[in-house]
Amino acid sequence: MKPLEDYLIVDFSQFLSGPSASLRLADLGARVIKIEKPGTGDICRTLYTSDLIMNGESSVFHTINRNKESFAIDFKQPEELQKLKKLLAKADVVMHNFRPGVMERIGLSYDDVKAINPTVVYASISGFGNHPELKDLPGQDLLLQSLTALTWLSGNQEDGPVPMGLSIVDMLAGAHLAQGILAALYRKASQNIGGTVQVSMLESAFDFQFETITTFFNDGGELPVRTKTNNAHAYLGAPYGIYETKNGYLALAMGSIPVLASLLKCDELLQFPENKFTLRDEIKNILASHLLTQETQFWLDILEPADIWCAGVLNYEQLFKEDGFKVLEFTQQVEMLDGYSYKTTRCPIKIDGEYFTSTKGSPKLGQDNERIIKEFIA
């Protein structure tokens, strides 16, 4: 039995942040009913990645909405809203990621839902919270990365701002919402009390940088300075970074420069008996030139037995051939109601020695209407 079995989540959220939270709850056993607009559904159904269409819809939608049900209903219509409220009255969690004020205008605010479901956990993600001067700004991942200084931590010193290659703020906000929901469900189970859980993408992006922000506040307000080359962390000295080799790339984490000089037989590094932060560009330049002289595996064969923190740098094609990936069995095959099958990732959480998998794929728009109406509304 999965930990969240018998819990009902009604999810109004779209795109990535909210659905990523309900995906994790579904993986842990909750029943997730996705509320969608008739005809078009979640906008993410047509938000294509690399123009990849899977069974007529976006790969992004299939990835983040597996293991859920779809209930298509135009809840802006008073008659349909009343039907929907019958479902909400039986939900453990109601969640959305609309801008502040939208659910209130519809008649589905926390107070509205609480009136029919006193112990409901009402969870929401917004871009910027409820602050009057911020709440109407668009909560889009790239914009949030840019507004929260994240883009000044990646890349090299002269690169300008560099965004992360993933919708990282969406995923962080979704993870935080799932954490908050789980805490609220624990309180509900132990005290029979509901309540609200609120997460903003803005605050999630700030929290992601707790280490660097704390350093900034306590380091005289000095801005983080990325190294000129091979940057990987603006607040860490050499050798921390990724270096090109004769046939690929090598990642080096923290380490003693004199030890590296000896192991790599790099005499130029011997002039640095101390790993001073101010010398990191000079040290990295020497390392970068030296590591180009041999292939990645040559260096790994020297560094790994010496317990130096290092790794080869893999792309997807290389990664999926690695035994370290295969042994985890991190992929699963899921199937939609119409028989369409696709390969995707599984839940990364293990409880009592067991991972959580499910063969249930993403839902077609409105595919569960008849069953949901019969069970909760009729």
Mark whether 142 and 262 lie in a shared domain. no
pLDDT of residue 135: 84
Q: Cβ neighbours of residue 10 under 8 Å, at least 6 residues apart?
A: 33, 35, 87, 88, 91, 93, 94, 95
Average pLDDT over every residue of 3-17:
97
pLDDT tens-digit series, residues 146-173 = 999 999 999 999 999 999 999 999 999 9
Task: Give the domain CATH number at 156.
Answer: 3.40.50.10540
pLDDT tens-digit series, residues 275-298 = 888 999 999 999 999 999 999 999
Q: Is the pLDDT of residue 183 over 80?
A: yes
Q: Judge whether 224 lies within some domain.
A: no
Q: Is the pLDDT of residue 366 over 80?
A: yes
Q: Judge whether 193 lies within some domain.
A: yes
pLDDT of residue 199: 97
Query: Where is pLDDT greater, at 47 or 363?
Result: 363
Average pLDDT over every residue of 213-232:
93
pLDDT tens-digit series, residues 61-81 = 999 999 999 999 999 999 999
pLDDT of residue 273: 85
Residue percentage of the chain with pLDDT more than 70: 100
Give the catalytic positions in this structure: 170
Measure the CA–CA gap between 120 and 275, rounded to whole angstroms: 55
Measure the CA–CA gap between 113 and 255, rounded to whole angstroms: 55
Mark whether 200 and 245 lie in a shared domain. no
Single residue among 291, 313, 335 that ends a domain in this structure = 313
305 to 69, 251, 257: CA distances (angstroms): 50, 16, 17
Q: Count of alpha carbons within 13 Å of 376, Cβ hemisphere only?
A: 20
Q: Judge whether 200 lies within some domain.
A: yes
Average pLDDT over every residue of 170-190:
98
Sheet strand arrangement including 310-312: 241-244, 249-252, 310-312
pLDDT of residue 274: 81
pLDDT tens-digit series, residues 18-39 = 999 999 999 999 999 999 999 9
Mark whether 156 and 303 lie in a shared domain. no
Mark whether 166 and 250 lie in a shared domain. no
Q: Judge whether 214 lies within some domain.
A: no
Mark whether 160 and 84 lie in a shared domain. yes
Q: Judge whether 230 lies within some domain.
A: no
pLDDT of residue 134: 86
Range of the domain at 267: 241-313
Measure the CA–CA gap between 65 and 134, rounded to whole angstroms: 29
Single residue among 261, 295, 313 that ends a domain in this structure = 313
Q: Is the pLDDT of residue 253 over 90?
A: yes
pLDDT of residue 355: 93
Mark whether 50 and 147 lie in a shared domain. yes
The mean predicted confidence, pLDDT, of the chain is 95
pLDDT of residue 136: 86
Q: Judge whether 322 lies within some domain.
A: no
pLDDT of residue 276: 86
pLDDT tens-digit series, residues 313-361 = 999 999 999 999 999 999 999 999 999 999 999 999 999 999 999 999 9
Q: Is the pLDDT of residue 190 over 90?
A: yes
Element (H or E) spanning 268, and its range?
none
Q: Judge whether 221 lies within some domain.
A: no
pLDDT of residue 49: 73
Count of domains forming the chain: 2
